Structure 1
């Protein structure tokens, strides 16, 4: 624990705020937060929470920084984009500049059920920094299985939404799915403005701080809005619990944890397919590159090269991102041609 004088000096404005105070600040400073995703949502929320004084942040993200991220992903710089730095690595670098005493645990990985359950076991709360429905259902099931609160957030174009879920106190995310804003739009297809990210995360982190300080009380709300149109609203969720819900109802099966994890998936809104295959090792990638005499860009985290008009990024843990392709079948065929 930091020296008391340092607490007052660094977090004095939060301590002065009547809804936090010294006791609430201490709870924040004792907290470990798991953030799934370090893109727009995760980069902003991790910075807010680091500045708020949380003890430890666990970050997991499978991607690296690109130039198009810089407009809204506030932890990253042009250097991170030009070097294709993994997002969690760039986030760690910047967060430690902000808070050298912050404990950080980062993972360059696809967050599957096993990893999420392991990491969540260390956390007091989970924050959603993802961009897809399936991962949110996975977070939801892990949260209810382990009894850990989590906070959802989403944004696209100029719209945002956020809601906190607390086992034993609120319905779960799966209960609310029928009434959530329905859209097939993504940032990559419809665009996004940075203020929408900031609004989503402001709601998300405020809710997280309420939970950590014991101030999130009924009634509970989902908050939605459009920052461009200056439209903001909320609706109560307390009456939406479904007794037959397989995640939070009377007979829980946690279906997202039991679903088979597809080893090949198209990334949301992008012409990119992710493949995880036991054949893909650092040695096998090096062998292919040497055999085909391919020009390669090597970083400490992955090897990047082009094959058959397609850009491939091979991480050191047996995972490949295949860019510039629209189909999973094409991606699998490409991997079979390369690795036999």
Structure 2
């Protein structure tokens, strides 16, 4: 317990709270900017089980704000959760870490949330957030929302039976088209948002119910703006916490989706892919091939790139044209 001595000196946590943390489990969805800060806080605080889920791999542009990665991870094209796990095991070997390379979907949401006390949102799109929101509400799991873009941030904790859900505040996906890949983001706002999320997580896990912030906080650190939107009662017509229809759990999974601002189209196969076999199959065709146990990167003669994951996902990079991407996918992978 010496590791946590300064944290236990903080009276609202103390030794009793520390023991609760060590018996707790959290699931962090997304291991980018917010996720790396959240994972670092949870592991250093001594949360017993930290499950990390992300579909992506480390790229050079991530290093500006994604604090657990370095240039070696970029060179090796490591999946983000694997790179994060490698760093965090050196920080606190007593915490159980689970690194899952996967795209969150209806097919795996049950398994991902199995046995966790709290879900931490570190995603970059509202489709996944709505899925998390609805899945958490159906399973009575608290959900800590966070978002950051440009110099703006937003955060709040949503607890079934105590607060409204995320859909009560944000009733449709963000239509501004502003993402970190289109308008950028500065690192300090990421750290602030994730810290707001982390402290609400700690309050919940140690049982400090009276200290939960009962509002959605938003701020712009460049333009010196700060707002709090106080929670009201759940909307009776809310399809999640009101009528309990959970619409995100009824939607069919999108098998082809354009990743906004990244010149990338993602294809999801229902079957796993053998990376060694695909490496052998594409080596004679591609201009360059890079391979590790988690993914296969292929430079194509046409100029586009394929990134193939063992879980069945394939990224066609270098275009946002769905027709062009489907042509590339069909040519090399098969429809």
User: Shorter-chain TM-score: which interval?
Assistant: over 0.9
The question of whether the paired residues in 2 share the 8 Å contact of 1:163 and 1:221 is answered with yes
The question of whether the paired residues in 2 share the 8 Å contact of 1:289 and 1:295 is answered with no
Match of 1:4 in 2: none
Aligned equivalents of 2:311, 2:124: Cα separation in 1: 23
Q: Aligned to 1:19, which of 12, 25, 48?
A: 12
Normalised by the length of structure 1, the TM-score is 0.92
| 1:235-277 Cα deviation digits (max 9, x unpaired) | 20134x111212111x312110110001111123311111112
Q: In structure 2, do the counterparts of structure 1 residues 18 and 134 end up closer, same or farther at CA, with 3 Å as the change threshold?
A: same
Point out where structure 1 has 5 or more consecutive residues left out of the alignment. Answer: 1-6
CA displacement at 1:286 relative to structure 2: 3.8
Aligned equivalents of 1:309, 1:139: Cα separation in 2: 36
CA displacement at 1:203 relative to structure 2: 0.5
Q: Could you list the runs of 4 or more consecutive aligned residues of structure 1 that deviate by over 2 angstroms after TM superposition?
A: 178-184, 216-219, 229-233, 277-288, 290-295
Query: Is 1:99 aligned to residue 105 of structure 2?
Result: no
Q: Alignment partner of 1:305: what SS? A: strand
Aligned equivalents of 1:119, 1:33: Cα separation in 2: 10
Q: Aligned to 2:258, which of 257, 266, 284?
A: 266
Aligned equivalents of 2:305, 2:260: Cα separation in 1: 18
Match of 2:147 in 1: 154
Normalised by the length of structure 2, the TM-score is 0.93
Match of 2:303 in 1: 309
Query: Is 1:228 aligned to residue 222 of structure 2?
Result: yes
How many matched pairs?
331
Match of 1:205 in 2: 198
Describe how 1:1-340 pairs up with structure 2 within 5 A.
Answer: 7=1, 9-178=2-171, 183-217=176-210, 220-239=214-233, 241-249=234-242, 251-278=243-270, 281-282=273-274, 285-286=278-279, 288-290=281-283, 292=285, 294-307=287-300, 308-340=302-334
Aligned equivalents of 2:56, 2:333: Cα separation in 1: 22
CA displacement at 1:103 relative to structure 2: 0.3
The question of whether the paired residues in 2 share the 8 Å contact of 1:154 and 1:200 is answered with yes
Aligned equivalents of 1:133, 1:317: Cα separation in 2: 22
| 1:30-78 Cα deviation digits (max 9, x unpaired) | 1101000000010110001111110010111000000110010000011
- CA-atom RMSD, angstroms? 2.0
CA displacement at 1:182 relative to structure 2: 6.8
Aligned equivalents of 2:161, 2:223: Cα separation in 1: 36
Aligned equivalents of 1:311, 1:49: Cα separation in 2: 35
Aligned equivalents of 1:159, 1:121: Cα separation in 2: 32
